[in-house]
Structure 1
């Protein structure tokens, strides 16, 4: 449940901050007339994300067991790839997100209402689709459809509240540090989802080695115990993983976490174009 709470909190907070930045900029520049297209784009993004999650959940029930496992394993790997890209992208752009969004919004204001809707949709929709896919993968990994969804819903609700507090100026936080710590935790969660995704591919008989266990600590950590459930819900711990799962988990979490925690190199600010000046030696065209 905590892992899904973390997913909902982080992804939801990214979307909430984006919306807050867009809305605050429009209010500050006295362009309240553009708020309706922004909210329309947000609503469309939320609706499509929910529909995507429903399709993932209910669209696979008619498949055979092998097909379900093959699809689940493939989507889990895709979800981990998206989340990995997301945590590195946010780590790199957290300090400059506001300026980047302001620039895109200025362009959209010039282009008109449709551009505003598209801007809000793309900004929020990416987070929504990533969230739906990753939560669905986490639900498949835990085998529990209630607590993961409840955790994700609580995370999203917390993110909306934090976003509102940011907008009202009642809450200030070091966003770069926040996204660094939550990103590191998400890398560990993603490693568990990735390992279980490969286990799904083994159950689908797409990959070998299903019967080759790396270890089995089921007696020490029973899956039905409270601590076994806690480990399963937080880091997708499995007491009897296959050798392939352990290898995949290690090959992912060690290099990715190391690269993520390395000090970031801030990019130099783009050079501003020199102001146009009149050359006194230039020859004027004759009348």
Structure 2
């Protein structure tokens, strides 16, 4: 539940910030008549994201009849989720300073085209976050006995993001987004490492990868499977009492270098100022 709440909070706040930038631009430009198109695009993006999440679940539970096919499908979606999480985290870190200006520029161009262009622009700005959320959520809850509680946690995270976004837009509340995205990004990298580990396990279950029973460790005697802290580690980071060698290698090989790269301080480029040169004296006649 904590993992899915974090996913909803992070992705929801990104989408909320995008929508608030678009709304603020229209309000300040005295183009409130275009708000309907923005909300139409946002609503369509949400509907498509929900449908995509349902399609993933329907494909796994209904369309794929063989056990190996389901495991392979879940493995592929897990790897895709890891790719999208990694791309989203690093993209947001690099684009955070320029995203507002880019969105305003695109919306200004869409206003010049017409109402449909505004709706399409709002749709495209939000649908990426929604599709990512559906894919990551589906991958994060694989193997859960009951998906209703993680779903409630995801919705709670999205609801929290909407509240935070509204407070930032309508009041004087200010949040250090740099710190927020750094902390949530680091946690999501660990969540993604767990999703990748689960993907490797599914590849082993489907017979694509060997070594399912070749365990790297077994701490079930120390880490009680029924304890709350075991459930927390398993649900948040997929740290289980037992794991195969390939699963453990995958978790460490992704989680450690990506986390270090993400937290590594950006190099500050020193401003280079050209040296002043004195003009050569004019030749004497």
Is the shorter-chain TM-score for this pair beyond 0.5, marking a shared fold? yes
CA–CA distance in 1 between the matches of 2:211 and 2:198?
13
CA–CA distance in 2 between the matches of 1:99 and 1:113?
21
Contact 2:60-2:74 within 8 A present in 1 as well: no
> Mapping of 1:23-102 within 5 angstroms?
23-62=23-62, 63=64, 64-102=66-104
The reply on whether 1:201 has 2:169 as its aligned counterpart is: no
Report the equivalent of 1:221.
223
Runs of 4+ residues deviating >6 angstroms: none
Instruction: State the 1:112 CA deviation.
Output: 1.4
Contact 2:204-2:210 within 8 A present in 1 as well: yes
Report the equivalent of 2:128.
126
Contact 1:66-1:204 within 8 A present in 2 as well: yes
CA–CA distance in 1 between the matches of 2:146 and 2:267?
41
Contact 2:7-2:188 within 8 A present in 1 as well: yes
Contact 1:92-1:264 within 8 A present in 2 as well: no
Instruction: State the 1:221 CA deviation.
Output: 1.4
Quick check: 139-148 or 70-79, which moved more? 139-148
Query: Could you say what secondary structure the match of 1:241 adopts?
Result: strand
Instruction: State the 1:143 CA deviation.
Output: 4.2
Query: Could you say what secondary structure the match of 1:140 adopts?
Result: coil
CA–CA distance in 1 between the matches of 2:151 and 2:132?
15
Aligned CA-pair RMSD:
1.5
Contact 1:141-1:196 within 8 A present in 2 as well: no
The reply on whether 1:259 has 2:261 as its aligned counterpart is: yes
Report the equivalent of 1:276.
none
CA–CA distance in 2 between the matches of 1:266 and 1:117?
39
> Residues 190 and 215 of structure 1: is their aligned pair in 2 closer, same or farther, counting only changes over 3 Å?
same
Report the equivalent of 1:7.
7
CA–CA distance in 2 between the matches of 1:237 and 1:148?
17
Paired residues, number:
268
Instruction: State the 1:58 CA deviation.
Output: 2.1
Report the equivalent of 1:182.
184
Report the equivalent of 2:112.
110
Quick check: 9-18 or 134-143, which moved more? 134-143
Report the equivalent of 1:230.
232
Deviations 1:192-239 (A, max 9, x none): 000011101100111111010100111211222222111112212111
The reply on whether 1:19 has 2:19 as its aligned counterpart is: yes
Gaps of 5+ in 1: 269-287
Gaps of 5+ in 2: 271-285
